[in-house]
């Protein structure tokens, strides 16, 4: 777990060289929520209801809007 955290934070530090902190954190959080939900569904059989799926869709849409249309996300 410690090695995983170290790798994750190292990868985040690399992105902070080109992307602002707020944008990086928004993407980091959104992807984390989606991955944890997917793992809970796949490994533990937790059901995802319609509001949960709608929320995940909004997270994906938000990350897409930031990356495609926001001037604050420098590429």
Specify the residue for token string 């990356």.
Answer: 67
Token pair listed for 43: 């490994």
pLDDT at 73: 59
The whole-angstrom separation of Cα 49 and Cα 44 is: 15
pLDDT at 26: 81
Using alpha carbons only, what angle is made at residue 63 by residues 8 and 13, rounded to the nearest 5 degrees?
25
Per-residue pLDDT of the chain (75 residues; tens, 9 = 90+): 899 989 988 988 898 888 888 888 888 888 888 899 999 999 999 998 999 899 989 988 988 887 788 776 555
């Amino acid at each position: 777990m410690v090695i995983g955290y170290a790798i994750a934070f190292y990868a985040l530090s690399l992105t902070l060289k080109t992307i602002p902190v707020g944008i990086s954190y928004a993407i980091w959080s959104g992807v984390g929520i989606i991955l944890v939900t997917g793992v809970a569904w796949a490994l533990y059989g937790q059901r995802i209801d319609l509001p949960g799926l709608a929320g995940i869709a909004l997270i994906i849409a938000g990350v897409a809007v930031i990356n495609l249309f926001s001037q604050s996300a420098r590429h």
